[in-house]
Structure 1
Amino acid sequence: MSYCKVIDYKDVKIVYTDIENCDGADAIPAFDSVQKLVAQFPEKSVLSCVNATNARFNKDLLSKIKETVKKNNPKVKVTVVCGLSKLSTLILNSIITATGRKMKLFDSVEDGKEWLYQYEMKSRKHAESA
């Protein structure tokens, strides 16, 4: 079952979307939820992690992902997507190009969350020195 929630990773808040092992129809509700959740955050403040391990994409899900990325773009600082197959990576790269969202791809969720943590720590240091 897919879901979306805010998690705490080393005292950094991350919007975590889990579509692991879902097919297209099962994953769509998670993206409806993430749109509602992200809308509550300030501009360019959201660190987002999507676990797409073994997810199966169809036309409806890809359309929902594009809609979500465009809608959430003003609120999201950066997104990591974890666990994609080679084919899914190609599909996601086309979404990145079409939406201009800053996204990084990782094999594991732990690697993705750690990268988001490091990214946020660098952002905070940069803000403090500015």
Structure 2
Amino acid sequence: METSTMTVETKPKCEIIDYKGRKIVFTDISGARPEDAIPAFERTTVLVPTLGEKGALSLVDAKDARFNTDLISKIKEVVKKNNPYVKATAVCGLSSLTSLMVNSIITFTGRKMKLFDTIEEGKEWLIGQ
């Protein structure tokens, strides 16, 4: 008997969400391959400036995302470009290894950024900034 498997493809995305009356730029790369995550980070350079200088709160869900040197380079580039507009960034769902990579990005860019286990924890921290 033949069985078929249905694959649900995760599409990385970047959008502005509302959380308790605050606008947050939400970049969802959960489960993404590096080449699929890059366009989502590029989109932040369009959305983030619309919230004004130091007006953007940024949330990244990176649970089960895969990283490579191209993606890390793109993230560093985008973080630097968006720095004048971002007040704070919460990154959620990282493994120990990817946490080390993100900590190097924090050091490299000087961004106010904090790591969280869950999206809810990240949102709560962001609205307190």
Q: Name the TM-score, length of structure 1 as normaliser.
A: 0.89
Aligned-pair Cα RMSD in Å: 0.7
> Which structure 2 residue ranges, 5 or more long, are not aligned?
1-10
Aligned partner of 2:24 among 1, 14, 32: 14
Given the alignment of the two structures, is residue 44 of structure 1 paired with residue 54 of structure 2, yes or no? yes
Alignment of 1:61-76 (within 5 A): 61-76=71-86
Percent identical:
61
Q: Deviations over 1:29-77 (max 9, x none)?
A: 1011111111222110100000000110011100110000000000000
Matched residue of 2:67: which SS? coil
Mark the structure with the bigger radius of gyration: 2
Shift of 1:114: 1.1
Shift of 1:9: 0.4
Q: Name the TM-score, length of structure 2 as normaliser.
A: 0.90
Aligned residue-pair number = 119
> Which structure 1 residue ranges, 5 or more long, are not aligned?
120-130
What is the match of residue 36 of structure 2? 26
